[in-house]
Chain A
């Protein structure tokens, strides 16, 4: 399966600043990547689907101007949390769909813990 990395693994920032999180597919070209958010003791919630060379598709209730997604190449997608606030503190996880995406298998990055002070 695909190997997915995320950088940074942890980030602490001040309120009002922007933070960029990178998701890389190390051995697999991905036209699609998914971004999830996970709150403590909660399930993963899909935020958006990142599409290489085109605009991301956001889930209902996710602010596209707050969570900017760029998928500039087949191996890299970035999530930028703009003007971060404490309520944006969370665990952000990206994933890459498998070769048989219609079966729903995905390969996940290790996640990025964002803390906004």
Chain B
């Protein structure tokens, strides 16, 4: 079945460091891909998305490109801030129909030190 694999955490970086969180997927058909972020004490929020191959999602300085050839959707940010400390989840839409079921990776906890 469909699945998402993302790099294990936790990841600890200094402020202004470069961030990459790897995400690969297995899916039939052509899923949409997402990065969700969960800040401490809050619900998951959509960070960015891409709905077809070669699309680049971007938001708040974060970027991810839908790579069909490598079945990947790696999250990157050029210069992280302390406020980026959170848990990041890669996800794909499991079905093509109206249910929009999401399949999540295990999450990667990011801690950014000043």
Give A contacts to B, CB under 8 Å.
Answer: 1, 4, 6, 32, 34, 41-44, 46, 49, 93, 95, 97-98, 101-111
B34/A105 in contact, CB under 8 A: yes
Number of B residues near A (Cβ < 8 Å) is: 29
Partner of A105, one of B42, B46, B98: B46
Q: Could you tell me if B100 and A111 are in contact, using CB atoms closer than 8 angstroms?
A: no
Q: Known pairs A32-B99, A43-B105, A44-B102; list 18 more (Cβ under 8 Å).
A: A1-B46, A6-B43, A43-B89, A43-B106, A44-B44, A44-B104, A49-B99, A93-B44, A97-B99, A102-B98, A103-B51, A104-B91, A104-B92, A104-B100, A104-B102, A105-B46, A105-B100, A108-B44
What are the residues of chain A within 8 A of B32 when measuring CB–CB?
A: 103-104
Q: Which residues of B contact A95 (CB under 8 A)?
A: 44
Interface pair B43/A93, CB less than 8 Å apart: yes
